[in-house]
Amino acid sequence: MPYFTVDEFDEQVLNITVELNEFIDENNLSKKDIKPEEYGVFVFYNHDIDGICSMFILEHHTKFRNGLKLTAYPILNESDIYTYIKKTLAIKTAYPSLKFDKYLRVILLAINGWNEQILYSIKLYFERFLPENLRKFLKIEHTLAHDVQTDEWHFFLQDNSDKLNEIQQEQNNKIVECINECDKAIVLFASCIGILSCYEFTNTENSNLTQQIRSNYFKILSLQGGPYVIYDNHKLLTPLITLTTFEESLKISPYVLIYDPHITNETLSDIRIFCNLKLDEYNSNFTNLSPLKQKNVLSLLKNKLNVKKNTGQLCWKRRILNITSIDILYILLFILNKENKIIIKDFLYNILIERINEDSHYDKNILYKLKNKTYEYIRNIYQLTVNTSYNTILTTTIYPNIILNQSYHLNFISYLIISIYNKNKEKSENNLLLLFINNKNVARTNTKNNNVSSLEDRWNKSNESDDSLLIFGYNHDLNNNLWPMVFKSLSHQNSSFVQDYFNPNLLSTKLGDTEYIRKIIIENFKIIQQIKYNQEDDISQELESIQEDQSEEEE
């Protein structure tokens, strides 16, 4: 029978260790003969936004974070699966002694319209690497991607019955309403992410999609045991929700919300409880609290902070170990941009600004030195980066089922790709991403209603059979984003490339050789990187000279 709920997905698809241990006990076998940790889950996922979002959610599942082996392979169509199978079998033939990973679960994630023959081929391929007595445990699970309002999960259980008839019968079964409250939350959250792939999502004035997300938000809000998400309509529209209860509610890592190597699930809630703040008080700006409440919070925080004796007024901002990264973030925000408009819910940022604005010569002197030291630190790090280049420049191509050319879509997709790439790495690398977007097979629909057309729209109007390739440059470090300068330089040098001046991280070309395009872009990137470093080095030397002159005058 098919399995419907999220809990059943855990129990029937991700229960490899439990299933194998029961088999060992029933047959009086030894764990030396069968090692459950050697068997994992293999995922073929569609390389468009639906597939990438689905893969991102699946990778943060609790069981995969706790040791269950997961291998993922992006595909565009059936031929990609056949190509993968042929290449692997060719290696097996050439090197018979080479050991291959073994999988008891195969998931076709966000894939539509696959015939029976490809499913049967997948079954035969993965059975080849399994012992004879374990082949009956192989399961193939197929999840469909379509309208976010109807989350359908189809499970194909492979046993010794008529496989193809079983698959055809189970295709007519749909998901029923989730039983568990947390199940509802995760399905609704996945729906909110799925909305990002909707072709109607073109600008911030789209009330239809905003209403869909609002509707999902209120559904989650009504669940018992919450709140599971918070809704911030002051931030950008992508996405409109952020997680608050992390693994327990949505089974998503807390690092998705805040990247801090020392943070724990309890850190933020501990601060709120310690300061005697209600949830709505903690989520609001510090200045919204009553004067008495502000005074009490400041007093409590100073008692909790790690204060060194005989070091002056400003040192209390060096906080406890488990939030040091956030501490540095606040200082850099102030130093790099005094007019910073970023909305930050943590009231500690406002406390920092208040302390700096106090009329204290000591504070201002410390800030002056801090600013120079920070600048010197950043400059040294940048020099190291220039000399060693970036750890990695990733290149990938996606084939969307909708036209993708909006920067907020592409930024979100790039973030997911980088996150998937960095999974299970001891240290997240400062990756750059060149994202090639192949929109040529997408049906053209006029869904734009904004006055300023994007690069893709202008090309479409001039050429109905447009086969141009879009190139998007992504770097999560916005203060060190060189892609606009790289693309501008390249478009001036070579008429085959056109930069979108409304979206400067976007480049268009009708060249088809992605390897050549990647090579020429990276060459330009290295040149721009070296030029920028030389300019900053000159500025630094000039500032040092001015400071020396000022010191001599004071003496």
User: What is the spatial distance between Cα 4 and Cα 435, in angstroms, rounded to a whole number?
Assistant: 35
Is the domain of 167 the same as that of 193?
Answer: no
Separation between Cα atoms, residue 107 and residue 116, nearest integer Å: 15
- Indicate whether 455 pLDDT > 70: no
Among the listed ranges 48-57, 216-225, 241-250, which one has the minimum average pLDDT value? 241-250
Residue 356's domain spans which residues? 284-380
Asked if the bond preceding 227 is cis, omega within 30° of 0, the reply is yes
Residue 198 has a pLDDT of 36
**Res. 125 pLDDT band, cuts 50 70 90:** very high
For residues 20 and 169, membership in a common domain is answered with yes
The total of structural domains in the chain comes to 4
504 shares its domain with 461: yes
Q: Mean pLDDT highest for which of 307-316, 408-417, 420-429, 540-549?
A: 408-417
Asked whether residue 18 falls in the same domain as residue 167, the answer is: yes
Q: What is the pLDDT of residues 474-501, one digit of tens each?
A: 887 666 778 888 899 888 888 889 988 7
Domain-located, residue 98: yes
Q: Is residue 399 over pLDDT 70? A: yes
For strand 39-46 and strand 102-109, is the pairing parallel, antiparallel, or unpaired? parallel
Strands of 422-524 (E only): list them: 432-437, 469-475, 497-499, 506-509
- Spatial strand order of the sheet with 70-75 comes to 70-75, 39-46, 102-109, 139-143, 153-157
Q: Are 170 and 303 in a shared domain?
A: no
Whether 70 and 11 have beta carbons less than 8 Å apart is answered as no
Residue 30 CB burial class (10 angstroms; 0-12, 13-18, ≥19): exposed
Q: What is the pLDDT of residue 126?
A: 93
Interacting residues of 405 by C-beta distance below 8 A, sequence separation 6+: 437, 439, 454, 455, 456, 457, 470, 503, 506
Q: Could you report the per-residue pLDDT of 294-314, keeping only the tens digit for each?
A: 667 656 655 554 333 332 222
Q: Are 69 and 101 in contact (CB under 8 A)?
A: yes
Among 342-346, 377-381, 505-509, the least confident range: 342-346
pLDDT at 177: 32
Distance from C-alpha of 75 to C-alpha of 94, rounded to nearest angstrom = 25
Dihedral (CA of 356, 361, 362, 365) sign: positive
Distance of CA 142 to the CA centre of its chain: 23
The model carries a pTM of 0.40
Kindly state the average pLDDT of the residues 496-524: 86
Which range has the top average pLDDT, 107-121, 162-176, 295-309, 454-468?
A: 107-121
Residues 326 and 369 reside in one and the same domain: yes
CA distance 313 to 364: 11
Hey, is 363 helix, strand or coil? Answer: helix
Q: What is the pLDDT of residue 232?
A: 43
User: Who's near 504: CB < 8 A, 6+ residues apart?
Assistant: 483, 484, 487, 488
With CA atoms as reference, report the closest residue to 158 among 149, 170, 146.
170
User: Percentage of the chain with pLDDT > 90?
Assistant: 2
* Claim to verify: residue 441 and residue 344 sit in the same structural domain: no
How many Cα neighbours within 13 Å face the side chain of 506?
19
**Which of these three, 331, 355, 380, is where a domain ends?**
380
Distances (CA, A) of 67 to 16, 38, 63: 12, 11, 7
Average of pLDDT values for 250-255? Answer: 28
Asked if 414 and 51 count as a contact pair (C-beta separation under 8 A), the reply is: no
| Whole-number pLDDT of residue 442 | 61
> Is pLDDT above 90 for 234?
no
Cα–Cα dist 487/489, whole Å: 5
Average pLDDT over residues 431-459: 58
Last residue of a domain, one of 176, 207, 241: 176
pLDDT at 66: 72
Residues 170 and 52 in one domain: yes
pLDDT, average across residues 201-230: 56
Query: Domain for residue 252, yes or no?
Result: yes
Higher local confidence (pLDDT), 88 or 359: 88
Task: Give the model's confidence band at 512: pLDDT under 50 very low, under 70 low, under 90 confident, else very high.
Answer: confident
Indicate whether 549 belongs to any domain: no
Answer yes or no: do 22 and 150 share one domain.
yes
Q: Answer yes or no: are the C-beta atoms of 183 and 7 closer than 8 Å.
A: yes
Q: What is the pLDDT of residue 228?
A: 54
Q: What is residue 314's predicted lDDT score, i.e. its pLDDT?
A: 22
The answer as to whether 273 is a domain residue is: no
Domain-located, residue 277: no
Domain boundary among the residues 176, 191, 222 is at 176
pLDDT tier, 345 (very low <50, low <70, confident <90, very high otherwise): very low
pLDDT tens track for 235-246: 333 333 333 332
Cα 282 to Cα 146: distance, rounded to the nearest angstrom: 38
Distance CA 212, CA 446 (A): 22
Across the beta sheet with 469-475, what order do the strands follow?
393-398, 432-437, 469-475, 506-509, 497-499
- Please report whether residue 544 resides in a domain: no
* Residues whose CB falls within 8 Å of the CB of residue 144, separated by 6 or more in sequence, listed in order: 110, 111, 112, 152, 153, 154
pLDDT higher at 89 or 293: 89
Find which of 118-132, 380-394, 451-465 is predicted with most confidence, using mean pLDDT. 118-132
Mean pLDDT computed over 283-291: 60
Q: What is the band of 462 on the pLDDT scale with cuts at 50, 70, 90?
A: very low
Quote the CA–CA distance of 216 and 247 in Å, as a whole number.
19
Token couple for 398? 């996606």
326 in a domain, yes or no?
yes
User: Are residues 234 and 102 part of one domain?
Assistant: no
pLDDT score recorded for residue 42: 92
What is the rounded average pLDDT of the residues 50-78?
Answer: 74
Rounded Cα–Cα distance for residues 217 and 198 (Å): 18
Same domain, residue pair 162 and 199: no
Give the angle subtended at the CA of 512 by the CAs of 508 and 515, to the nearest 5°. 95
Sign of CA dihedral 452, 458, 464, 466: negative
What is the rounded CA–CA span in Å between residue 325 and residue 320?
10
Residues 310-329 pLDDT 10s: 322 222 222 222 222 333 33
Instruction: Tell me whether the omega of the peptide bond preceding residue 239 falls within 30 degrees of 0, making it cis.
Output: yes
- Per-residue pLDDT band at 548 (split at 50, 70, 90): low
What 3-state class would DSSP assign to 374?
helix
Q: What is the mean pLDDT of residues 403-407?
A: 75
159 has pLDDT over 70: no
Residue 379 has pLDDT above 90, yes or no: no
* Residue bearing tokens 């406890």: 320
- What sections of 171-226 are H helices per DSSP? 181-194, 207-221
pLDDT level of residue 533 (50, 70, 90 thresholds) = low
**Does residue 12 form part of some domain?**
yes
Instruction: Tell whether 366 and 441 lie within a shared domain.
Output: no
pLDDT at residue 189 is higher than 80: no
Q: Report which of residues 215 and 396 the model is more confident about.
A: 396
Closest CA to 383 of 534, 524, 538: 534
Of 357, 361, 444, 459, whose CA–CA distance to 403 is shortest?
444
Rounded Cα distance, 223 and 180, in Å: 10
